């Protein structure tokens, strides 16, 4: 006997349903792949226009804390018309009416931020403006899962760091002691890539300093990742993926350096840097062949708040070049 007509119809209908499910699954996967691809492309495109537009105009300035016991010390919060917020600290000497001061805008390591002013000692005839990274996430970044969930806030903080430096200058320009002819931009350690961007895009910075940083990000991140991943090939893949995830293509220091000229750029590298590998430093040597770029080598290891010798070396180098009234 043959298969009953009803059963045959159900089999045909079942096959059709399975085909439909497969087609829906394939279309869904294709759409997901397209969305992921578009997202990665968006991450890979340098954000030149974003940096310029995000700065906006200064619409709010609030002094959170102020003292003037021999020197002026302020904690200030700024906000621009785009919603960009900047937390910073000012340290400067007292000034007479009409007296101006050279300004040093500092973007230091992630753990230092605006507290970098605590490391410079007496202001010695200059005004220091040290900035926090504009990270607005609530998550702690010490644990893996918290770091993963904080990725959107980290991405935003990275993108907002260069315009934050420009917004700090917008505020400083309104101060009576501001010397527009002497505005130094100093990036140290992690702050170097963001400082290179800000220095290239904002011509109000009359000189740019890159201290103990890397010219290329991949070897730098690979070096830092040695404690977590031993295999070099895998470490390279992870480093590239991590950098792409935080818009790393927008912060390749060596790509922004030519845009700083003809304003002077001074690169300071540590001979025995234990945080930045030699491969990340070497492109600086070739870049320093430009008449607008100088490279200085310091003794010792990478700058850290607890390494007084390295800190003093860097401070002496920067202050020795600044013209004070």
DSSP string for residues in 85-143: EEEEEEEEE---TT--EEEEEEE--TTTGGGGGGGS-S-TT-EEEEE-------S-SSS
* Mean pLDDT estimate for the chain: 86
* Alpha carbon separation from 192 to 63, 86, 105, 107, 187 (Å, rounded): 27, 18, 13, 8, 5
Whether residue 65 has pLDDT greater than 90: no
pLDDT band at 109 (very low <50, low <70, confident <90, very high): confident
pTM of the predicted structure, to 2 decimals: 0.84
Domain 49-321 in this protein, CATH class:
alpha beta
pLDDT band at 143 (very low <50, low <70, confident <90, very high): very low
pLDDT band at 52 (very low <50, low <70, confident <90, very high): very high
pLDDT of residue 5: 56
CB-based contact 315:211 (threshold 8 Å): no
CB-based contact 62:77 (threshold 8 Å): yes
Whether residue 176 has pLDDT greater than 80: yes
Q: What are phi and psi of 187, to 5 degrees?
A: -115, 130
Q: Which of 82, 35, 96, 89 is nearest to 66 (CA)?
A: 89
pLDDT in tens, 223-263: 988 888 888 899 899 988 888 888 889 999 999 999 999 99
Reduce the DSSP state of residue 178 to 3 states and report it: strand
pLDDT of residue 144: 44
Instruction: Give domain limits for the chain.
Output: 1-44, 49-321
Block residue for tokens 């020197």: 71
Query: How many angstroms separate the CA atoms of 206 and 204, rounded?
Result: 6
pLDDT of residue 145: 45
pLDDT band at 317 (very low <50, low <70, confident <90, very high): confident
Q: Which of 160, 106, 112 is nearest to 130 (CA)?
A: 106
The CA angle 69-74-76, to the nearest 5 degrees, is: 170
Reduce the DSSP state of residue 57 to 3 states and report it: coil
The encoded tokens of residue 79 equal: 């906000």
State which H helix or E strand residue 203 sits in: none
């Amino acid at each position: 006997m043959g298969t009953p007509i009803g059963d045959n119809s159900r089999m045909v209908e079942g096959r059709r349903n399975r085909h439909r499910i497969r087609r829906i699954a394939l279309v869904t996967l294709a759409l997901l792949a397209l969305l992921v691809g578009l997202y990665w492309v968006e991450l890979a495109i340098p954000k030149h226009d974003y940096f310029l537009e995000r700065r906006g105009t200064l619409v709010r300035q609030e002094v959170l804390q102020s003292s003037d016991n021999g020197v002026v010390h302020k904690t200030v919060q700024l906000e621009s018309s785009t919603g960009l917020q900047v937390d910073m600290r000012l340290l400067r000497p007292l000034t007479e009416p009409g007296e101006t001061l050279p300004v040093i805008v500092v973007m230091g390591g992630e753990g230092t931020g605006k507290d970098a002013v605590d490391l410079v000692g007496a202001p010695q005839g200059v005004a220091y403006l040290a900035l926090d990274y504009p990270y607005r996430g609530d998550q702690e970044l010490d644990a893996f899962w918290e770091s993963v969930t904080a990725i959107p806030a980290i991405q935003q903080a990275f993108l907002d760091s260069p315009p934050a430096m420009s917004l700090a200058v917008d505020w400083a320009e309104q101060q009576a002691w501001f010397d527009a002819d002497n505005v130094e931009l100093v990036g140290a350690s992690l702050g170097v890539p963001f400082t290179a961007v800000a220095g290239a895009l904002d011509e109000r910075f009359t000189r740019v300093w890159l201290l103990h940083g890397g010219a290329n990000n991949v070897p730098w991140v690979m070096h830092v990742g040695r404690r977590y991943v031993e295999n070099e090939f895998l470490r390279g893949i992870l480093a590239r993926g991590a950098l792409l995830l935080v818009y790393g293509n927008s912060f390749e220091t060596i790509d922004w350096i030519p845009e700083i000229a003809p304003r002077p750029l001074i690169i300071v590298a540590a001979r025995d840097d234990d945080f930045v590998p030699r491969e990340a430093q070497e492109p600086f040597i070739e870049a320093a062949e430009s008449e607008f770029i100088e490279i200085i080598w310091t003794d010792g290891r990478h700058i850290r708040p607890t390494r007084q010798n390295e800190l003093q070396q860097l401070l002496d180098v920067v202050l020795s070049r600044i013209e004070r009234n």
